[in-house]
């Protein structure tokens, strides 16, 4: 029963976080909320990067613990979404966004795999914990690197 509760809790939290993030961007009702949260690009970047790092962690935890399978594809979807949002906030061109997203996706995949192996090697934690920690760190790193690139390239004339 405890197991069912945990599964249900993780699933609901996961769905809730993803829905909230999508709603913030699409909903007309929260438009004024969008403007308040995203008043400056840096504020927006904080919300997006930390929000998605949390989403990555929750997703990784829930998929590994419930389905005992590799959460790679779902995490990639989340990473792609985060990078596109960061690029759109800063009016980065779509074609260059694609190049950036491709590279970050590749980097995320390899860093995630290698990072989890290293953590398990040097710290006494379970494989799931190692994956969760790695996914959070890699998401934060990719998010901030992307933000720096798109902000520096996008100077207003």
Q: Which is nearer to other proteins, 77 or 118 (CB)?
A: 77
Site string for other proteins, 10-49 (x = CB under 8 A): ----------------------------------------
Q: Which is nearer to other proteins, 98 or 141 (CB)?
A: 98
The answer to whether 145 contacts other proteins (rule: CB under 8 A) is no
CB of 45 to other proteins, least distance (A): 18
Long-range contacts of 134-138 (CB under 8 A, 24+ apart): 135/53, 135/56, 135/57, 135/60, 135/75, 136/53, 136/54, 136/56, 136/57, 138/108, 138/111, 138/112
Q: Which is nearer to other proteins, 10 or 92 (CB)?
A: 92
Q: Are 61 and 10 in contact (CB under 8 A)?
A: yes
104: exposed, middle or buried (Cβ count in 10 Å: 0-12, 13-18, 19+): buried
Interface ranges with other proteins (CB under 8 A): 72-73, 76-77, 80-81, 84, 88, 93-103, 105-106, 109, 149, 152-155, 157
């Amino acid at each position: 029963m405890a197991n069912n509760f945990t599964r249900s809790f993780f699933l609901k939290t996961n769905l809730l976080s993803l829905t909230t993030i999508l709603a913030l961007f699409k909903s007309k009702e929260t438009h004024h909320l969008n403007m308040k949260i995203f008043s400056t690009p840096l504020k927006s970047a904080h919300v997006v990067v930390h929000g998605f790092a949390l989403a990555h962690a929750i997703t990784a935890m829930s998929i590994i613990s419930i389905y005992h399978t590799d959460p790679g594809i779902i995490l990639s979807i989340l990473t792609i979404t985060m990078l596109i949002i960061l690029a759109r906030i800063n009016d980065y061109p779509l074609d260059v966004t694609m190049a950036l997203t491709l590279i970050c996706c590749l980097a995320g995949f390899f860093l995630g795999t290698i990072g989890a192996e290293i953590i398990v090697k040097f710290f006494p934690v379970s494989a799931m914990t190692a994956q969760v920690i790695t996914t959070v760190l890699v998401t934060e790193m990719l998010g901030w690197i992307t933000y720096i690139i798109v902000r520096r390239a996008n100077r207003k004339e």
